[in-house]
Amino acid sequence: MILSVLRPDYVFPDRIIAPVPPTYGNLSASDMYHLSGRGAFDYSFTEYGHYQVGLTGHIKDIRGVAYSISGTYDVYVARPLDMDIFPEPGTPLEPGVGLHPQVRIMPAMPAEVEIHWCHYPHSDVTQAIERKIVGKANRWGIFVPGPDQSAVKFRDPGEYVCDVTVRHRDEEGTFWMACRRGASVVVTPNSKVVVHGERGNRSPTAKWRARWFMAGDGRFIAPPPPSQAPPELPSDASPDKRLDRVDMGHTCLPYEPGDVAWLGSRMNFSLFPGLTFEDPEGTISDLIERRWPTIRDGAGREGLYPYELKPEDRRAIGEMPYVCMTASGVPPSVSPEDIDQWGYFYTTSWRPGVAVRSLVAEDAQPVGYWFFDDPYGYQFGNGPQGDLPGDVKMNYGGGVFRDNASGVTHYGGYASMLVLIDGRDPLGARVLPPFNGVVPGSPPSGPLLQIGGKNYDVFLTFGAVTPGAILEVGQRLSIAGVAWINFGVGSLLDSMVYGIVTGLGFVWLVHSQPPNVKVKGS
């Protein structure tokens, strides 16, 4: 094995030639095996800047079959920056809606900013449309494209990838940098297909699954085996002690788009990011069922799942799978070049200021969940305890279906919300619609948040131009943000946001206008 490192201050690469020591890895099929290296590939980076790392060689398995390992990798050595991006990479987008992306950089500095969008209409790589926005943040770390930059707008449904990179070299020569990548869909307009999460909980001991539920002590949903049942708590146990006893690990993304999961912030709670879809007209469902008729018996329910509930008709209950298939029936992982029917989904979960988790997967993914004590890479604004009561998360999703033979494609969006609670929440862990019982058929759900004794059923988080942000003369004032409400592509309600901008000698009334909503007066 040869390791080559091209340094920014060195014309010829450093080279390390070493045998590959034995591999190691978790025995789980979901884990990838690794090369230990045992120090053979240790390398000290001596300068800030851009390095290129090249690997050439092979590794043999126990039968002597050689597997080549080669590639060139870009590595940047820099001090880390943090950035808030609007829209959050991974947001499902509507076709024809203009966007003015924004970036806020922390610590504040006049960094160079590059935002690169690549849109694939109907997933056709030959028709890719690229858009690059390049500029410089002001000295307070705020970047908004200038007045000469037109809005980013995608006219056709499909998929997109967004890369955001910020760089700055200060007066002392220190190099600062941050990168983010996100991907999702541009949705198919006017479609009756609805993207869903999943009902209930993925615990193997779960006894039933429902789109809406209040967990209580958790035992009627997913009771532990008798040998593992904890002793009863005393009657005077604290609310937090009681919440800690609720085992709601692997709660699914809420089934209905726009719904809210109120869950505890401790280790016994986690979120399972899986998406499904409902197809009232049956066009896509027919194409899938012809090849995989056992979806009528719950096929695809793998990994963590209550197997007692597995024999269920997935088409009838509106949880059709996103899955890739070949015409020959050979598994796609064995013969990926033969895939002619594509199904997969994107999910992105984020907290204001913190990127939480992004995933691209198919239906039969065995894992992918995360616990809420995760420090999320120790990003700015996140402590070693991970999530805390009162934190909120937005869960975005985008589903993709493509059938080569028929030409049928579909791109659907999804959004839901997660609220972290403690034992003082009177309703406890639950998955319900917002608005405290206003949605027909739903029980009272309580407020989204309760702060200082006040209830909040809707609130707004801003893009880069936050309250108190400092702009320079000539910078575009672009007010944008996310309304935390019954949001989401396909949700029950669109949101309208009004505001007043006051300056020296002027007052502006501004508002957002979602599609198909008429504004009376202004």
Q: Which residues pair with 361 in a beta bridge?
A: 345
Question: Which residue did the predictor score with more confidence, 76 or 487?
Answer: 76
Write out pLDDT tens, residues 349-362: 999 989 999 999 99
* pLDDT tier at 30, thresholds 50, 70, 90: very low
Let me know: does 191 contact 411? Beta carbons within 8 Å. no
Which residue shows structure tokens 């060139």? Answer: 72
* pLDDT tier at 83, thresholds 50, 70, 90: very high
Of 198, 199, 192, 256, the C-alpha closest to 410 is 192
DSSP three-state, residue 305: coil
Question: The CATH number of 80-186 is which of 3.30.300, 2.40.128, 3.60.21, 2.60.40?
Answer: 2.60.40
DSSP three-state, residue 93: strand
Write out pLDDT tens, residues 263-314: 998 778 899 999 999 999 999 999 999 999 999 998 888 777 888 888 889 9
CA distance 105 to 429: 35
User: In the prediction, which pLDDT does 16 show?
Assistant: 61
- At residue 88, what is the residue type? E
Residue-by-residue DSSP string for 236-279: T--HHHHHHT--EEEEESPSSTT-EEEEESSTTEEEE---EEE-
Write out pLDDT tens, residues 311-370: 889 999 999 999 999 988 888 888 899 999 999 999 999 999 899 999 999 997 877 888
Q: What is the radius of gyration, based on Cα positions, of the chain? A: 25
Exposed/middle/buried for residue 197 (C-beta within 10 Å: 0-12, 13-18, 19+): buried
CA distance 244 to 292: 41
- At residue 13, does pLDDT exceed 70? no
DSSP structural state of residue 152: B
Domain range list for the chain: 2-77, 80-186, 198-446
User: In the prediction, which pLDDT does 508 show?
Assistant: 62
- At residue 173, does pLDDT exceed 80? yes
- At residue 442, does pLDDT exceed 80? no
Let me know: does 427 contact 262? Beta carbons within 8 Å. yes
* pLDDT tier at 109, thresholds 50, 70, 90: very high
Write out pLDDT tens, residues 493-515: 566 777 787 776 666 665 555 44
- Read off the pTM: 0.88
